[in-house]
Homo-oligomer: A and B are copies of this chain.
Amino acid sequence: MQRVKAILSYDGTYFSGFQKQPNARTVQGEIERALQHIHKEAVKVYASGRTDASVHAIGQVIHFDTPLSIPPERWPKAMNSHLPGDVYVHDVTFVPSNFHARFDAVEKEYRYRILRGEGDVFRRHYTYQCPHPLNIAEMKRAARYFIGTHDFTSFCAANTEVEDMVRTVTVATFEEHDDELVFICRGNGFLYNMVRIMVGTLLEVGQGKRKAEDIPDMIAGKDRSLAGKTAPGRGLYLWHVQYEK
């Protein structure tokens, strides 16, 4: 058996998230269906992590094992020819049989696109359109408080089963690209809805509903109700997953 690592992008709009579910269209379901076509038998896929409904990916990473002797450079075309238009495999490499897409990930980058304005029919599924004026300098200042190793309980959806809520955030910043404000966040791992709650909180700072200085207390309080709303999934992208060289 050969372990295969694949990097893929997907448009999350018409998926009920990454993880396979009965009676729902999922990314994992589509990939496993494509691999079953190729293998004529079931193949299980493991991802770096799941993404929620409407969340997109530019650099999701998966692994699976294959008994087939297809060379790496031919795998993308083989898979893409069986995948729907909203999932695309960009790159495939062979990895040792102990590689694991989830457990070996050392850093992840998420991005969140905020469109400053409303009524862009072409980006309605790909950005969060914010019609309110935003104080970007304050948002940048607030974001810096997330950097470091913290217990992020306040920034985790309440219905999680994870026990260790400590994560290290190395990058939390905003870039302005034309009419978009893009939040870039990098860290060793993220809790359920963590980036979306961070963005929701930062949007409230940008609108003057909260102060940048309140972020440390929100973190210290370890209580989801202290942080802001969860920003919509459609602005979020799993951008890159980093593995040890």
Residues of A within 8 A of B (CB): 9-11, 56, 80, 85-88, 90, 119-122, 124, 126
Most buried by B among A10, A56, A80, A121: A121
Tell me which of B86, B119, B122 contacts A90 (CB under 8 A). B119
- The answer to whether B124 and A85 have CB atoms under 8 Å apart is yes
Complex Cα distance, B120 from A122, in Å, reads 15
Contacts of A11 in B (CB 8 A): 121-122, 124
CB distance from A94 to the nearest CB of B (A): 21
- The answer to whether B122 and A126 have CB atoms under 8 Å apart is yes
Tell me which of B56, B119, B124 contacts A122 (CB under 8 A). B56
Complex Cα distance, B95 from A39, in Å, reads 64
Please state the number of chain copies in the assembly: 2
10 nearest A-B pairs in the assembled complex, by CB-CB distance: A88-B119, A11-B121, A85-B124, A88-B121, A86-B121, A9-B121, A11-B122, A10-B121, A122-B126, A90-B119
Complex Cα distance, B144 from A179, in Å, reads 33
Complex Cα distance, B124 from A85, in Å, reads 7
| 20 A-B residue pairs with CB within 8 Å | A9-B119, A9-B120, A9-B121, A9-B122, A10-B121, A11-B121, A11-B122, A11-B124, A56-B122, A80-B119, A85-B121, A85-B124, A86-B121, A86-B124, A87-B121, A88-B119, A88-B120, A88-B121, A90-B119, A122-B126
